[in-house]
Structure 1
Amino acid sequence: MPADRFSTTARLRVLGSQAAERVYRAQSRRLRTPRRSRLTGRAALLALVVCSLVVLLAYPLRQYVAQQSRIEDLRQETRQRQERVEELRRLAARWKDPAFVEQRARARLHMVRPGETGYLMRHGERSFDRPPGGAVDRPWYRTLWRGLDEADASDAGRSDP
């Protein structure tokens, strides 16, 4: 038998049985060990941390975006108000000019210089130096008296104890 031990057929038999045992062990290992899921504990923990961060940062991020929008709105409003202030400063500077004051007094109050003759058109077209929808063309003093009469009439309707 010793010669048989080193023979090719003996060796092939031994190798075949060893291979069969390995296959059997591998198959039994697969049957015994359940398949592990691809989601490991570390991956689950990482997913939980990422979701928590998203939830925690969503509200502050939304607030930040809203505040940035509000800041931009306030800056635009500030620019508009500064433009309005500049416009009013230019108008105030114009009112310091005596020629402008005289021109406005002539147009709105129907004032004339001594020696000039003033004319008012009663049923003509409206004056072009007034904005549309302005007061009816009549002397300023009539508008003043009409306003006083209306105020007096409304006060007469009230009875104070």
Structure 2
Amino acid sequence: MATGRSRGPASRPPRRPAGGRPSASTRPAGSSAPPAAAPATGWRRLLGGVTGDRRARRALALTGVLVLLVILLGSTVTAYIGQRGDIAALRDKVAAQEQDVAALQAERERWRDPVYVEQQARQRLKFVKPGEKSYTVLDPEPDAGNRDPLATIASSDEELPWYQGVWESARTADAPGARR
């Protein structure tokens, strides 16, 4: 029942040295080139040049680490920048509100002055002291520039077209306190 193959320890191929690389004594003298590699099989053959070149592997690993950092820190940095903008906007708003508070405090101090209160009562409420007379102009002369152009047309003695006469009569009827 012998098939020609032995399964004992003598049939195994010899082991490689522990360092993983052939020693300098096994290389040909005067040769600086690395020994020929065994043909790649499986997934190593697919990666081919990348696994054979240390620089390329390191660059690939560094690129992977950088991409991972960008992914992990991207949202954090974006949130940080957004929050810095919000803080700046809130500081501006606080500064504007502080100015408003200062203006309101100054106005409050003016209202504490009896002379200012008296002045405002005379201007706004038309108050007078006993014995004084107050005059109020009810109908000042109208300016020449403030006249209504349709009123000027209606007051002229020219013959108006029928549609303008209808418009003028409707306008006069709708106007509060219209004069006839």
Indicate the residue corresponding to 2:129 in structure 1: 113
Matched, 1:36 2:36: no
Write the mapping of 1:137-156 to structure 2, written as runs, cut at 5 A: none
CA distance in structure 2 between the aligned counterparts of 1:118 and 1:86, rounded to whole angstroms: 36
Matched, 1:52 2:65: no
71-80 vs 33-42, greater mean Cα deviation: 33-42
Identity of aligned residues (%): 34
CA distance in structure 1 between the aligned counterparts of 2:85 and 2:115, rounded to whole angstroms: 47
Question: What CA deviation, in whole Å up to 9, does each residue of 1:23-70 have, x standing for no partner?
Answer: xxx9xx6xx899835563332121111011011111110100000010
Question: What CA deviation, in whole Å up to 9, does each residue of 1:5-34 have, x standing for no partner?
Answer: xxxxxxxxxxxxxxxxxxxxx9xx6xx899
- Read off the aligned partner of 1:62 and give its amino acid letter: T
Write the mapping of 1:48-87 to structure 2, written as runs, cut at 5 A: 48-87=64-103
- Read off the aligned partner of 1:60 and give its amino acid letter: T
CA distance in structure 2 between the aligned counterparts of 1:124 and 1:105, rounded to whole angstroms: 23
- Read off the aligned partner of 2:110 and give its amino acid letter: R
102-111 vs 37-46, greater mean Cα deviation: 37-46
Give the structure with the higher percent helix: 1
Indicate the residue corresponding to 2:106 in structure 1: 90
After superposing on structure 2, the runs of 4+ consecutive aligned residues of structure 1 that deviate more than 4 Å are 32-35
Question: Aligned residue pairs: how many?
Answer: 98
Q: Quote the offset at 1:123 in angstroms.
A: 1.3
Structure with greater contact order relative to length (CA < 8 Å, sep ≥ 6): 1
Q: Which stretches in structure 2 are left out of the alignment for 5+ residues?
A: 1-32, 142-180
